Structure 1
Amino acid sequence: MMKTETETKAESKKLQVVTDVVCPFCGTLCDDIKIIKDGNRIIDTLNACAIGNEKFKSAQDGHRIMTPLERGDNSAEFTPVSYDYAIEKAAQILANAKRPLFYGWSSTSCEAQEVGNELAELCGGVTDNTASVCHGPSVIAIQTVGAPCCTLGEVKNRADLIIYWGCNPVHAHPRHMSRYSTYPRGFFTERGFKDRTVVVVDPRPTDTAKQAEYFVQVEQGKDYELLDALRTVIRGEDIPDVVAGIPKEKIKELGNLCKSKKFGLLFFGMGVTQTTGKHRNIDIAISFVADMNKYTKFNLIPMRGHYNVSGSGQVMSWQSGFPFAMDFSRGYPRYNPGETAANDILERHECDAALVIASDPGAHFPVSSMKYYAQIPTICIDPHYTPTTGVSKIVMPSTIVGVEEEGTAYRMDNVPIRCRKVVVAPEGILSDHEILERILERVKELKGKENQE
């Protein structure tokens, strides 16, 4: 493969070019990134989107937490402490809690997630990932009726119809369309964009809609009705003149378009999972795809956000049988989203301690939830300062997986990919995996003493 002009210039300046790097930002997990670095400093990236580029460069910005911190009772001031002190304090908090909450997991490695779930079980706590506030309804629907899925590689090589429903990949997954769905040349789609038809269904004319041949502007919260109407017209039955704000003729046109293609793919996002109907929307979307397979080949893939939220669901499932909102407080794994999800537990004041890792509920949860979080003993593990670190009692910095640490992650199509280490982490900073391992070992010791007493 020919080198780019940027690579040639980098080599002339004796800079190192690291190839085949995986971007640890979104669920697309682009694995063709090239990193240009001078010694241990990242100078530039090739192939990465603007957000991915910032993710790599954020490893060396001034917003990093460089030492563990402790916030005093009734104080906003933090005091620097050692890792040994912070880990001991965290272990004491978790070992003494009756029902601790473990939340996050979506931006760290599967190896760290595995240890974290063991820690939650040992402490009799609740462990939940960010799916509970994004694609949890997708998971619930798939558990109910199954799902006809495929890999993004199959989409690239075979799909001649792409439907983006309730998502905006131009902003949320910037390279998704160029790598897998709309523009790349595949084995059976040799002409790329010219061999595909793109449909966008959304209440708003998004930037993704501007690139589509068909834009269906569904009424807000009426996705279920539109999907039901599509299923009806596909079977050749009649529907009202207008459904979900869409004229009957346009729905019939869309149904005929779907039936005329060789391989269709429905990508759906939080515009469907977090609106009226929630998991019922996904249930009927799966039923629509199943109906389409009577006429042609059709699949669907959720547009997962965090780069390893799919991995967290996978790890939880193969460890204990449930993909999120898993409760160990009765001594065995129990799963009841709406009761055992993180935000619900914080809202009802049902946990007496919390550990947050690889996520930022302080920026996304309701104020009432975070007010309670700020009142109880809490631990936050994160490389950067966030709203959550600002209200936690113990804060421990960690390395960034995919930049300073190796680790396994699952792409949005549930394909596991190994993330590379590109640069060495700042001196003395531990990985998520090591921090959790040390907390787990100490909690085992404390629980052993407790059992002996």
Structure 2
Amino acid sequence: MQETIKHVACPYCGACCDDLEITVEDGKIIEVKNACIIGTEIYHHASREGRVGSPRRRQPDGTYKDITYEEAIDFTAKMLIKAKKPLIYGFGSTNCEGMAAAGRVAEDAGAVLDNCASICHGSSFLAIFDTGYPSCTLGEVKNRADVVIYWGSNPQHAHPRHLSRYGVFPRGYFTGKGYKGRKVIVVDPRYTDTARCADHFLQVQQGHDYELFDAFRMVMHGYADKIPAIVAGVPKEKILEVCEIIKGGRYVHIFFGMGLCHSDGRNHNVDIAINLVRDINEYTKCTIMAMRGHYNIAGPGIVWAWQFGFPYCIDLTKGSHAHMNPGETSSVDLANRGEVDAFINIGTDAGAHFPIRAFEKLGSGIPMVTIDPSVNMAATVSDVHIPVAIVGVETGGICYRMDNVPIQYRAVVEPYNGILTDEELFDRIYERMQELKKEGWTTDEGVWDYATPLADVRPVKEVYE
């Protein structure tokens, strides 16, 4: 018998579209409506045969052998206890309940707890710490904004339904004309697919965003005559034209992406963008928002700020208090310096996203566990790969949208092959750690034993018995 479940939230990007309709028959997903092509594939993948349905342990010859959850949990718990400075990283694709459970494990293990923000919007955090965050919700953008600016972001690729649901096309309470009533401005070094939808495109010179922001601020402060003929590759006339559009808007909103965070200037680019918002508010209402990537990458910052007082790069090795210092306690820097001696990759793919030299130190020299519903690059070099239920498909939970609005996700089918959720897994790891400590397991000077590696296979770490 078929059943259609409505108002389902999508576990892909930070837009967290919650208008999906999923048709289920005999415990399998038959049809997905309203989702983008990537979100649709996530749902169909859940019902596809051939998924990894049980934990796997890498063998000395590089192959994988299925093991039980008890064995995988025992391996992970012993790894965390024996390590002096384990790193638990990821959490872009988990629910907040799983993040909180992982926080408890990290605190007990004296680990470094970090999320994907440290390699994406972490620099935005630093700017927000310094300058503030005059933001809003996506609903306010939809209902109020008549001037929308996409700076250093390409939502047509990264957030496929963002323009249609929030930024450009929807008709809102005060924006009844939709696209026809809005002015869309795109600033990017490339003529992207998002730029094709724009009324005005400013092709900024790569790495010179700060200069262009500075020119905008000069106009807002009345120093337009001091601006050179060309700033960061953009003609002065175009800058003045766009500034007049901004001044004449009822509600201006700026969406900024990793084009600002990962080009020259980094957090200073975001800092001056926020200051530009402050300047625009002398003329009209203006807000700003980061285009967060994964559907719950905003979650760790909120959950861990409540648990530990910091959003990312959290060093819990001191035992008595948490410590955060990006550059010192961030994952890539710790890996480059060889400071961690155990690694858990969860809800992300460090193998695809980390610099190769950093990941080589994590994937070849220390014990490593990957927790993810699918096989990714990190899983292929991990000692243990533990599959978990897909949030929004096989399990529910709270996830925070890019505007920090919590969305209640729910399950539409049962977990494949009875696999655990992230929360259940970390709770069981924590319980096993307590049992091992009662048995006398502690961190010591010992190191992990290595199996004899083949010439073309990364070494396999053997757990203490």
Question: 1:59 is matched with which residue?
Answer: 46
Question: 1:3 is matched with which residue?
Answer: none
Question: 2:282 is matched with which residue?
Answer: 294
TM-aligned CA deviation for residue 280 of structure 1 = 0.5
Is structure 2 residue 326 aligned with structure 1 residue 337? Answer: yes
Question: Partners of 1:22 and 1:28 in 2: how far apart?
Answer: 10
The within-5 A match list for 1:403-422 is 403-422=393-412
Instruction: Tell me the matched-pair count.
Output: 439
TM-aligned CA deviation for residue 451 of structure 1 = 8.4
Kindly indicate whether the alpha-carbon contact (under 8 Å) linking 2:46 and 2:416 is maintained by their aligned counterparts in 1.
no
The alignment partner of 1:184 has SS state of coil
TM-aligned CA deviation for residue 36 of structure 1 = 1.3
Question: Partners of 1:300 and 1:61 in 2: how far apart?
Answer: 40
Is structure 2 residue 359 aligned with structure 1 residue 370? Answer: yes
Find 1:100's aligned residue among 63, 82, 86.
86
Question: 1:230 is matched with which residue?
Answer: 216
Deviations 1:369-393 (A, max 9, x none): 2211122111111111111111111
Question: 1:22 is matched with which residue?
Answer: 9
Question: Partners of 2:390 and 2:208 in 1: how far apart?
Answer: 40
Question: Partners of 1:386 and 1:31 in 2: how far apart?
Answer: 27
Which amino acid in structure 1 is aligned with residue 246 of structure 2? C
Question: Partners of 2:214 and 2:307 in 1: how far apart?
Answer: 36
The within-5 A match list for 1:25-174 is 25-62=12-49, 64-72=51-59, 74-174=60-160
The alignment partner of 2:418 has SS state of coil
Question: Partners of 1:415 and 1:240 in 2: how far apart?
Answer: 41
Question: 1:10 is matched with which residue?
Answer: none
Question: Partners of 1:34 and 1:120 in 2: how far apart?
Answer: 37
Question: 1:284 is matched with which residue?
Answer: 272
Kindly indicate whether the alpha-carbon contact (under 8 Å) linking 1:22 and 1:419 is maintained by their aligned counterparts in 2.
yes
Deviations 1:17-70 (A, max 9, x none): 110100010000000000012221111111101111011111123452111111
Find 2:423's aligned residue among 420, 428, 433.
433
The alignment partner of 2:18 has SS state of coil
Question: 1:387 is matched with which residue?
Answer: 377
Identify if the C-alpha distance between structure 1 residues 63 and 279 changes in structure 2 by more than 3 Å, giving closer, same or farther: farther
Is structure 2 residue 175 aligned with structure 1 residue 189? Answer: yes
Kindly indicate whether the alpha-carbon contact (under 8 Å) linking 1:63 and 1:385 is maintained by their aligned counterparts in 2.
no
Question: 1:8 is matched with which residue?
Answer: none
TM-aligned CA deviation for residue 367 of structure 1 = 1.7
The alignment partner of 1:427 has SS state of helix
Question: 1:325 is matched with which residue?
Answer: 313
Which amino acid in structure 1 is aligned with residue 152 of structure 2? G
Structure 1 residue runs without a partner (length 5+): 1-13
Which amino acid in structure 2 is aligned with residue 376 of structure 1? I
Kindly indicate whether the alpha-carbon contact (under 8 Å) linking 1:63 and 1:384 is maintained by their aligned counterparts in 2.
no
Question: Partners of 1:412 and 1:236 in 2: how far apart?
Answer: 34
Identify if the C-alpha distance between structure 1 residues 23 and 79 changes in structure 2 by more than 3 Å, giving closer, same or farther: same
Question: 2:191 is matched with which residue?
Answer: 205
Deviations 1:134-188 (A, max 9, x none): 1111111111111100000000000000000001111110110100110111010
Kindly indicate whether the alpha-carbon contact (under 8 Å) linking 1:36 and 1:42 is maintained by their aligned counterparts in 2.
yes
TM-aligned CA deviation for residue 350 of structure 1 = 0.5
Deviations 1:290-344 (A, max 9, x none): 1111110000010000000001111111111111111111222111111211111
The alignment partner of 2:429 has SS state of helix
Question: 1:305 is matched with which residue?
Answer: 293
**Taking structure 1 as the reference length, what is the TM-score of the superposition?**
0.95
Kindly indicate whether the alpha-carbon contact (under 8 Å) linking 2:86 and 2:340 is maintained by their aligned counterparts in 1.
yes
